[in-house]
Amino acid sequence: MFADVAGSTRLYEEVGDDKARKMIAHTIKTMTGLTHKMKGRVIKEIGDEIMCVFVNADSSVKAAYEIQEVVSSDFTFGRPLSIRIGGHFGPAILEDGGDIFGDAVNIAARMAGIAKAGQIIISENTVVRLNDELRSHVREFDRAPVKGKKEPIIVYEVVWQQEDVTSIAVLDPGMFAGKQAGRIKLRWRDRQIELDGNSGVLVIGRGNEADFVVDDKFASRMHVRIELRRGKFVIIDQSTNGTYVQAGDDPEVYLKREELPLLGTGCIGLGHSVVSAEDTELIRYMVE
């Protein structure tokens, strides 16, 4: 994750070198402390920016939340500064001196470059690893080219301002009564996989980082997630081309950044219609 002070050049012009330097040093210290609070580690300071690593995606986004909230309300020097934050989940190479480098670092820096003052921008690789609560505050923001990548990647904004967060309604638990799903079996060609209540989240896609890899040219690297939610298996589309689902003899449903409970038996098409696809292109599912 990268977090840096937005508009620092203008800040030096407005308040003078001495005060600007003190304000930025104070903010760097604040961001460092909040990084440590979330069990993160600051790799280095780069002028008015910090580069840090965390044990998981949740911790990084929680740290980003706190940095934005604390810094935006800090009037120690008479006015708060604005921070822009970018993050990405992925492997990095650790050097002997403690620095890190690699593709994940480059993508995280690109996310920070996309972010505007007061924004948190993260990659799709980060979003799919967030818990439900944090993911509910994430929205698709843009598609951006990244150096070394053939295709633009989908980037997301974490909505951290309280006034922008949708209120959560309190629902009657009785609304969710009914048979609890035990497991779901999925088959693609000669490969099969099962998901149950103890398996967590299953990611299906073309990329090697997916839990169930489907070699389909229309599929995104991390095309869909399937997770057990309130006793039902739910498929969540997070792809470029969308997802088609047909349950039994029902008409197929097209999902684009949407989700749908999976019931009984049916077929899933990654980026192409179930009706027109060859049998070998479809994922078959059965909920037990």
Q: To the nearest 10°, report the CA torsion of 107, 109, 112, 114.
A: -60
Among 164, 196, 229, the domain boundary falls at 164
Place of tokens 């690593």: 53
8 and 120 part of one domain: yes
The rounded distance, in Å, linking the Cα atoms of 214 and 208 is: 9
Strand duo 201-205 + 212-213: pairing: parallel
If phi > 0 it is left, if psi is from -120 to 50 it is alpha, else beta; for residue 248 that is: left
pTM comes to 0.57
Among 131, 164, 197, the domain boundary falls at 164
Count of structural domains, the chain: 2
Structure tokens at 179: 């048979």
| Residue range(s) defining the domain that contains residue 52 | 2-164
Contact 135, 58 (CB under 8 A): no
Structure tokens at 276: 């027109």
Contact 135, 153 (CB under 8 A): no
Can you give the pLDDT of all 288 residues of the chain as single tens digits?
A: 999 998 888 899 899 999 999 999 999 999 999 999 999 999 999 889 999 999 999 999 999 999 999 999 999 999 999 999 999 999 999 888 889 989 999 999 989 988 888 999 999 999 999 999 999 889 888 777 777 777 778 889 998 875 444 443 444 444 444 445 588 999 999 999 998 866 667 889 998 878 899 998 889 888 998 988 767 889 998 888 899 999 988 999 999 878 899 999 999 999 999 988 788 889 999 998
159 and 252 part of one domain: no
- Torsion sign, CA atoms 76, 77, 82, 85: negative
Contact 195, 228 (CB under 8 A): yes
At residue 271, φ and ψ (nearest 5 deg) are: 85, 0
Domain containing residue 183: CATH number: 2.60.200.20
The rounded distance, in Å, linking the Cα atoms of 135 and 127 is: 7
The rounded distance, in Å, linking the Cα atoms of 52 and 32 is: 9
203 and 99 part of one domain: no
17 and 157 part of one domain: yes
109 and 204 part of one domain: no
